[in-house]
Amino acid sequence: MFRWRTCINKHFRRSSPVAQVLLLCVLTFGVILPICCHRLLYSYYFLNTLYLDSLSDAALQESYNRAQEALGFWEGVDSKESLKDPVEMVAKKPDLLVTVVTASRTEGRDYHYLLQVTQRLASLLKACGDKPCAEVMLCDVESGPSLNEDALLLEKQFLVVRRSPDERRKIREAVNIFEKEKRDYVYCLRKGWDLMRPKNVIVLEDDALPGTDFFPLIKNLLSRKFARNTLYVKLYHPERLQRYWNPEPFRILEWLGLGMFGATILLLIFSHCTYLSFTLSFPHLLFLTLYVMAVVELAGRHYLMEIRRLSPQLYAVSPATECCTPAMLFPGNASIRAAEYLDQVECAQGNAKDMVLYKIVRSTPGERAHSVEPNAIKHIGAYSSVRFNPLRPRLI
C-alpha cells in the first residue's frame, strides 16, 4: 500500500510530466474539442441526433433560396442579351470548355440545380474581363417523355446539345441506370470535342456549384507540370471521406508531417514555460506528435483543408481517389481518351463510371489521375436524377 501511495505521489503531483500529460489530454479531448466541435458536421464530436436534421433543413432552404434567385435571374434576362451566339461558340476552339451534364429531375424540381450552377458560371465568367475564362456548353441528356425545362430556359444564353429522337430511344434501352449514366457522360465528352476542339475540358454535373475562385484555380492547375501527364483531375471528393482515418497513403504522410510540425512548435513553446515539465526530448516529441495528430483528426481534416482556399497556389494535388465524378478536369485531349476507355466497359451497380475510370488508370501503363483538395465545387444535389431519393434528404 505504501508503494502505491509513493508511486501516485511521485507521478501525479502537479509538476509531474505524467500528471500534466493527463491533464492536457482531459482538457483537450474531454472539454475543449467537444465544446468547439459539437456543431461541426465533419468532426467526430458532431452531435448527429441533435443537429443533423436542422443543418440539413438549413442547407435545403439555402439551396431553395438560391434556386429562386437563379430562376428570377434567368427569366429576367432579355433574349437579346444572350451571352453568346451558339454558331459563334462552335467556331472558337476555346482554351477551356465547361460542359454541364443535365437531366430533368422528377423530385426536387423547385431547387433548379442547373439554373444555380449556370448563374454562378455566368457570374464567374463576367469577372474574367475582356478575355473569357471559358466557354460553356449544356449537354441535355434527358431521354424520358418529360422535357428538361431548365435547359429550355437557358437555350438563348448557352449552347445546348441533345441527342436526336432516335438516339434518345436507343439510350432508354440501356441495361441499367449506371450504364445509361456512363453513356450520357461519354456522349457529352465526345460532343464537346467534336463541336469545339477545346484545349481543355471540364465536365460538371448539373448539381456541382463552382466556388468563387473556380477559374483562377483551374488556370493554376493547368499551369502545373503534372497536368501535362494526367487523364483527369477530380475537383470534388465527398467531405465525409476526406478524413485521415479513411486512409489514402498520401494522407498518412500528410498526417504524420503535420503532427511532427505541430509537435515541434508546441514543444518549443512548452519548454519555455517554467510551470510545465516538457523538455526537448524524444518521448515528449513523440507524445506531442500523436497529440496533434489526434486533435486534427477528431476536429476534422475538412476544416483544416479550408485554409488552402486563401490562394489557388495552396490547393493540394494528390493521386486520385475512387469516388466520385460531379466535377472533372480533362487536360488537353484527355477527354477523348476517357470516352474511349469508358466505351470499353459496361457499368453496373458497384462498378459505376467513377470506379471504371479509377480502375483503368491503375491498370493502364502510363496513365495518371489526380485529385485536388479542398473541393473546387460544392455538391448541392440533395435530390438525384438517377438514384433513389429519401423522403427527407440529409447532408450525410
What does 289-320 look like in DSSP terms, one character per residue? HHHHHHHHHHH-HHHHHGGGGG-GGG-EEEE-
The model carries a pTM of 0.90
CB atoms within 10 A of CB 286: 13
- Is it true that the peptide bond before 374 is cis, omega within 30 degrees of 0? yes
- DSSP one-letter string for 1-34: -HHHHHHHHHHSSTT-HHHHHHHHHHHIIIIIHH
Q: What is the pLDDT of residue 14?
A: 53
Contacts of 97 (CB under 8 A, 6+ apart): 134, 135, 136, 137, 192, 196, 198, 200, 201, 202
Q: Which of 35-44, 217-226, 274-283, 290-299 has the lowest mean pLDDT?
A: 274-283
- Dist. CA 40–CA 50, nearest whole Å: 12
Q: What is the pLDDT of residue 1?
A: 47
Q: How confident is the model at residue 230 (pLDDT cuts 50, 70, 90)?
A: very high
Q: What is the pLDDT of residue 10?
A: 46
What percent of the chain is helix, strand and coil (3-state, nearest 5)?
A: 55, 10, 35
| Structural domains present in the chain | 77-233+320-376 (3.90.550)
CB atoms within 10 A of CB 274: 6
- Dist. CA 322–CA 324, nearest whole Å: 6
Burial class of residue 49, CB neighbours in 10 A (0-12, 13-18, 19+)? exposed
- The single residue listed with the C-alpha cell 465544446 is 35
- Is it true that the peptide bond before 273 is cis, omega within 30 degrees of 0? no
**Tens digit of pLDDT for each residue in 320-340?**
988 889 999 999 999 999 999
Instruction: Answer for the pair 378, 209: CB distance below 8 angstroms, yes or no.
Output: yes
> In the chain, how many H helices and how many E strands?
15, 10
Q: What is the pLDDT of residue 212?
A: 94
- Dist. CA 2–CA 240, nearest whole Å: 51
- Dist. CA 162–CA 139, nearest whole Å: 6
Percent of the chain having pLDDT more than 70? 89
Q: What is the pLDDT of residue 11?
A: 45
Integer CA distances (angstroms), 183 to 163, 173, 200, in order: 12, 11, 21
Q: How confident is the model at residue 261 (pLDDT cuts 50, 70, 90)?
A: very high
Instruction: Answer for the pair 218, 198: CB distance below 8 angstroms, yes or no.
Output: no
- Dist. CA 371–CA 315, nearest whole Å: 10
